[in-house]
Amino acid sequence: MENRFGLLVLVVVSLAAMYGLAYVTRPAVTPPAPASPRKVAVESVTAVCPGTKGEQVNVYLPGTLNGETMESGKPYVTKGPGGLEAGYLTRATAGAARGLAGVRCTEPAPQTWLVGPGPANADVRLHLTNADKAPALADVQVYAAEGRISSDAGLGLEIAPGEHKEIDLKTLAPSADIMAVSVTTTYGRVAVAAKATLETGGVDWLPPAALPSTRVVVPGIPGGGGLRSLLVATPGDADAVVEIKAVSTDATYAMKGRETLDVPAGSVTALDVTTGVAGSPAALVLTSQTPIVAGVIATGTGERSDVAFTAGTPSLALGSAVARNATGSQLLLTALGTQPGKIRVQVVPGKGAAEAPYEVEIPAGRTKAVKLKARGDFAVVVTPVAGEVYGSRLVEERQRTGVLLTTQPLAPARMFTMLPPLTDTYEVVLP
């Protein structure tokens, strides 16, 4: 009996020793690397521009540039493979709509934000286009200094297949002197654009702003004279304390007296940054604990001033292209972080072969203006090489009565997109 129990104890001790040794000598468990977004090629693009009768739209496909005249005021819709870009410029030297105005043909999106002057100070026309064969439903909400003020008339807008709606924002928010507009598509697909004509003079299209985020970079603030006004919106239910830094041609710095900006929940606040950027081409970097949307209004100089708008935009990590440029165009490029930025620039003329690309280096924490020497109609293609770079295309034309100008932030090219990581899990079907 004693021998049997002794044998059992011996077996148990031996097994414990083996498992203990295995536990101590086991290989370290390496946790799986966190999934990251995948860069994938875009196969098909639909781009929509608000129509302007008689104007030429330029359509860029990698290596080529074509022009097409809009024979009516209906929206211009073009479809093609990845890399497609389209847009146009209008130019008027007299009348209420005097100025340069540039617009990029946009893709239908589930949500679009626009930031700029309100209907109390400008004639602002919102363009909603359903380019698909299925109906769409959209909500339009307007935020102002006093909070969200748009009426229920902007909710539940039905847009039939192929239909275009032009909305005078005075009908939704007549008292807003500054504004942020959100267009949310409940179902279907809607392309959004907006044009603002200031009562004091000047006209341009509002570029889509980056979606609400705790870090927003507003590039492409023109140098020279004129007013520069930063607009920041907080669409959520919490107030925002926004830290602001300017990035000019000489330095990155906090503007004296404008280091922070308090923005009440659900409202828009304006800040004059004219002396803060001191006439230099610049970008603004905004950080906040609360998601924000931002843009800048820039006015020109002279007896009759023009206006241009820029807004928060992603970096040039996916590259960018602007289909419609003209004599007097330049790139305003900003490199953030501690490393210099570098991009590759190529000009594609409307006639003839594309020019050889060349590289541009931007010092770390600086903004650099790069003049484009091409004349006439041309496309410009920007490819990232190194660093965290943001940018905008600026067109200026000097006249005796005042400078004409228009800006267009360098939006991500339609060559590639980032797909979020996917995980096999039954949770996706749970309520």
Could you read off the pLDDT of 344-356 as tens digits, one per residue?
999 999 888 889 9
Please name the residues in contact with 18: beta carbons below 8 A apart, sequence gap of 6 or more: none
Closest residue by Cα to residue 270 from 242, 303, 290, 304: 242
Question: Could you tell me the pTM of the whole model?
Answer: 0.88
DSSP 426: G
**Residues 76-98 pLDDT 10s:** 999 999 999 999 999 999 888 89
State the DSSP H helix or E strand holding residue 225, giving kind and residue range, or none if neither: none
Tens of pLDDT, residues 321-341: 999 999 999 999 999 999 999
- For residue 26, the model assigns a pLDDT of 63
Query: Measured between alpha carbons, how far is 219 from 146 in angstroms, rounded to an integer?
Result: 27
Q: For the chain, how many residues are written?
A: 431
In Å, the largest CA–CA distance within the chain is 116
Instruction: Map tokens 């004059």 to a residue.
Output: 272
Check residue 32 and give its pLDDT.
Answer: 59
Above 70 in pLDDT, residue 428? no
